[in-house]
Every structure is written in structure tokens, then in C-alpha cells.
Chains A and B, each alone.
Chain A
Amino acid sequence: MANDILVFAEVRDGTFKRISAEMISAAKELAKKTGGGVAVAVVGNGVDAVAGEAASYPVDKVYTVKSPNLDTYSTQGYAQALLAVIAEADPAIVLFGATAMGKDLSSRTAAATGAALMTDCTEIDFDDGTLKATRPVYSGKVYAHVEASKEGLKMASIRPNIFPAAEKSGNSAASTDVSVNIDAASIKAKVLEVVASTTGRKDVTEAEIVVSGGRSLKSEENFKILEDLADAIGASVGASRAAVDAGYQPHSRQVGQTGKVVNPKLYIAVGISGAIQHLVGMRTSKVIVAINKDASAPIFQYADYGIDGDLFEVVPILTEEFKKLLGTA
């Protein structure tokens, strides 16, 4: 139906990712305005269980594309599958999470379909017959308001942690298999291997809570106190560029201009002064806590709660307090 919202379900290792439940929430909001329903596209190999899981959310329809050639993510394989779902479902809008997979796939499929595309949105609305979005630009220094043309298919990717994850409703939405012949030869880039980061934590971009440290931690070993804090509240660990440049943390954990942009519900900046390069990576976080012994550090201007003190004294006590509260001891 040309009023429907189609959600591309991100599946990794057979898991229906949280971001996709968030996109279902976003789609429900938009569907109220377009007067259509919400459908989910599940693509992969052996994804029946995930498709079943998707159908248990409050959605109207689940489309699945299954092929051994979709066993791992590939831009071209998944694009072919999604294009087939789009052809079948004829949605008004396709939503993606603004993740590595969502950003990669959305631009490829937008180019293929001639769709209007807005990436990395922090607000989205359907109004006056078209899709309108707000997205941070210039490294988050300002917001741009973007509108799609009224005619034609529209696509958007939305940042993690903007919409609450939809809850499963015990629904069992109708499921349709879309059959596509995915030719292995048409996939020019194939994943040989996925190397999980050794930290065993969620990526900072996916985490709901991020604890980040700066150069004031003084050594790689001292990051242990942040790891302990992170363990106590189920957080991921990030780092400022200064800490990464000093070799205390890998670049994959760097938050900021040349690192990752995070949007957690809680961001705890420890010993980070708040250079603009760092701020652009975290300032859309819902709640920001800063712990720094320099009371004039710019980070405090962006924080909701500030502790002017020695991180080596404060952090271990804070960890204990969190453990007491959350029973994570």
C-alpha cells in the first residue's frame, strides 16, 4: 500500500537488533500520519525465527527474503533483496537505523529506486503530504531541516536511541516470503570474516550508557576504573581523541570529530576537558555527566550534572554507589 511504512530489520548473528524495534516505534508514529500500516523487511539466511520475532511486534506485515547468498551482509545482495520487498510492498517510506548497515544500504537502494533519502535523522515527521526530518550537520554544530519531494518513494535513517524500542505485543503479523534469485556473482564485495572487538562490550554507538575517559586517566591501566564503572551500570567505554592518541584506548572507542558520534541516554565524561572535537561526538546525549578537576573545563557547559573533583577519588566511590543501587555487585 502506498501509505505504508516499511522498516528494514537489522539482523546480526540471528538477532533482531534493538535499533529495528526503535524503527518500528518511529514507523508507528509516521503511519498515524500517512494513514497506512507498518511492515518489516527481514533479509538473510535462516531468518525464520527472526521473522517470527518481528511479527510479534505491533506491526501489520512482515516480508522475508531468504537465500544462502544472504548469509552475511553484503550491500549488493541485501540491496537486491530489499528492492524486491519494496516492489512487492509498495511503501511510502522506508526506514533504516542510522548504523553501519543502515547507512550503507539506504543510499544504495535510494540510488537504485530514485528515492528521496535523509540519513542520520534525529527527528522525523510526516506533514503536509511529505516526509520532514531534522538532522545534525556540520559535526552537530547546527540542525538542518530537510524535506522530501511529495512524489515518489522516501527513505530515512534514524539515529539509535531517538525512539524508544517498540515492545513485543504477542502479535503474529501476516508474513510473506518474497522470492528473489540472489546471484552470488552479482555480489562484488563479500564478507569473509567478522572480527568482533575484543572488549566484549557493545559499540559506543549502540550503547545506552557510555562512560568515556580522557588523557587525565594518565595510562591504559587506569582505564580499569572506567571499565569497573561501566560494568556496574552496563555501559560501554569510550575515549577522547587525546586518550586515543596517547595510546590508552583503541580508535574504535574514540568519541568525537574523527571518531564516533554517540547518542546515549547517559554519557559520563571522566577527565575530559570538552574540546569542540569531542563535544561534536556526544552533545546530543540525553543526560551528560562531567567529572573533572578543572572547574573551568568547557565540558561543564554541556553537562547536566558536574562533579568538580579528582576522578581517581570520585569514580571508585561512584562505582560502589551504582552497584549498591543496581545490585550489580
Chain B
Amino acid sequence: MKIGVMVKNVPDTESKIKLSADRKSIEMQGVKFVMNTYDEFAVEEALQLKEKLGADTTVTVFSLGPERLVETLRTALAMGADAAVHLTDPAFEGGDSIANAKVLAKAAEAEGFDLILGGKQGIDFDSAQTLSAVAEFLGMGQAQVVTDIEVGGDNTSLKVRRRIEGGDEIVDVTLPAIISCEKGLNEPRYASLPGIMKAKKKEIKKLGLSELGLSADEVGAAGSGTQVVGYSPLKERPPVKMLEGGPAEQAKELVRLLREEAKVL
């Protein structure tokens, strides 16, 4: 089975998000980028499938974006992925999820994956759009927010469990397909030191606009239907009202305030 894993990197959750003075962009200086949390589940799942399915299963990680993604691809290789593809071209810059999905779909098509895994969303833009759009461009089936994957006996289908409001759906997915991964699917491994040393020797293939047979007006900012025009900080909440007295008075006062002041009851 040929498994592709879409990965991206995002600011470490520990890092502060600062707006530029004109609030048109986010200050990226000094921000540490790490593999998107949910993509780690995708890489891990691919590696576990490879361990289960045997040697003719390959895991290729692929990623669209700036040079800093090389380190994330290398991390995936160090975790145990076999190959990596970096989709990079000045024309790709400024693309929204749908425009980026076009590029990713082209690359996936060329690789001929039987299964594509990715995180349920990037924890930077939190859009959760890209995988679905890639699936549409490739005409593949999809299942999102998946917490369990079982491969059908003949390796042509999957039985997955996906999270929805108030429960789970058990979905039968015919391959080739795209699955987005949710926490709970597995415990991602660390890139071990021997893995890191091995990864150094693996090649990261670079593909640009012309190699993918795309034109500049369908990708990047030019190919995007939306654009971010600015940012604003969260609204400050008014200071907390601490309730005085013993537990009984505090409880009584809270109920009164929720009813009369906040009007939420």
C-alpha cells in the first residue's frame, strides 16, 4: 500500500502570537515551528499501518510551503517515513486552503497514493478545509476526525471510527481515500536519535509549479477566493467579579447574577 501523509508546521503552542504594528500580519520572528499536533497522529498511524501491512507498504510525507517545512519533513523521516516531498514555489505563496489543496492534490496524484492521511486541522489557521478539498480534487472518498482505523482484509477498504457531535460514526471507506486524524487515534512516537541520524541520509524531493503542471493563476494568492486582510487581538474581558462570603452566600449570589445581570438563565 502506498500511503501519503500531509504534514505542515505551526507555531509551537508555547509561543506567543504577536501582531505586527499595522495588524496586517503575525510577527513570525522568534516563533518556533513544530509539526502540527494532529499531523503527528497521521504520521504515527501511517507508520503503524506500514508495520502491520509489511515491507511493500511505503510512507511518503508531503508538504506545501516555505523552507522551514524541511525540518518538519525531516522529523517525519526520523520517525520512520520512507520518503518526503516538499512542494515549494514562489507562486504558491499566499494561497488559501482551497488553492493549497489544488497543489497538494496534484502532487498526490503524481505519487499515486492508495491512502492519504493528515491531521484533522492545522492548529494555526484551524480551518479544517484542506483534506476535504484534496479529496474532492482527487475524486476520493473521505472520513474526517477519525479516532480508529482498521484495514479491510483485502487492503481495498478501511473501517474507521469518526467523531461527530454526541457520538461516533463507523464508516466503511473504499480506497483510495483520505482520512483526517484526531487525538485518540494513537500515541505518536518521538523521533529517536538513531532515527534522526538515518533521516539525514534520506532525500527530500522538491517540486515546484512547472513540475506539477500547474499555472500560476490557479495557485497561491492569485488562485485563492479568500484573503486575510488583518488581525485583531482578543477582546479584553472586564475584570472578574469575585463573590464574597461563605459557600452558601457565594452560590446564592452567583445564581442571582447569572439570572439578573448576565441574563443567561
Contacts and interface: CB of A to CB of B under 8 A. Distances in A.
Contacts of A117: 96-98, 129, 225-226
Contacts of A273: none
Q: Which of A114, A142, A192, A266 has the most CB of B within 10 A?
A: A142
Contact of B165 (A192, A205, A209, A305): A205
B225 A144 contact: no
Interface stretch (B65-73, B81-89, B118-126): B118-126
B198 interface: no
B234 A147 contact: no
B13 A276 contact: yes
A233 interface: yes
Interface residue tally of chain A, by bracket? 35 or more
Interface stretch (A86-94, A213-221, A309-317): A309-317
A126 B126 CA distance: 23
A115 B238 CA distance: 39
B166 A107 contact: no
Contacts of A106: 129
Contact of A111 (B137, B177, B242): B137
A233 B254 CA distance: 13
Contacts of B144: 75, 100, 103-104
A287 B251 CA distance: 16
A148 interface: yes
Contact of A136 (B126, B141, B169): B126
B132 A314 contact: no
Contacts of A168: none
Interface string A297-308: 000111111111
Given A116-B225, A147-B226, A251-B183, A195 B250 contact: no
A103 B234 CA distance: 24
Interface residue tally of chain B, by bracket? 35 or more
B129 A290 contact: no
B240 A305 contact: yes
B230 A145 contact: yes
A117 B130 CA distance: 11
Given A108-B135, A189-B173, A100 B237 contact: no
Given A197-B166, A306-B242, A120 B259 contact: no
A233 B265 contact: yes
Nearest to A116: B225
B265 A107 contact: no
A147 B24 CA distance: 13
Given A100-B165, A194-B167, A194-B169, A147 B227 contact: yes
B227 A192 contact: no
B240 A189 contact: no
Interface string A111-152: 110111111100000000000001111111111111111001
A318 B238 contact: no
A182 to B, nearest CB: 14
Contact of A100 (B127, B145, B159, B258): B145
B142 interface: yes
B250 A314 contact: yes
B110 interface: no
B234 A140 contact: yes
Given A104-B132, A138-B17, A304-B241, 15 more contacts: A75-B132, A76-B142, A142-B17, A145-B229, A152-B225, A154-B225, A195-B168, A251-B183, A257-B37, A300-B240, A304-B240, A305-B257, A313-B247, A314-B247, A318-B254
27 contacts: A73-B169, A103-B129, A104-B142, A104-B144, A107-B129, A116-B96, A116-B224, A120-B126, A120-B128, A135-B126, A142-B19, A144-B230, A189-B142, A189-B172, A191-B171, A193-B169, A194-B164, A195-B170, A203-B166, A266-B264, A304-B237, A304-B262, A305-B257, A307-B242, A314-B247, A317-B247, A318-B255
4 closest A-B pairs (Cβ-Cβ)? A188-B141, A116-B225, A107-B132, A111-B133
Interface of B: 11, 13, 17, 19, 26, 37, 96-98, 101, 123-137, 140-145, 159, 161-174, 177, 183-184, 224-234, 237-238, 240-243, 247-248, 250-252, 254-255, 257-259, 262, 264-265
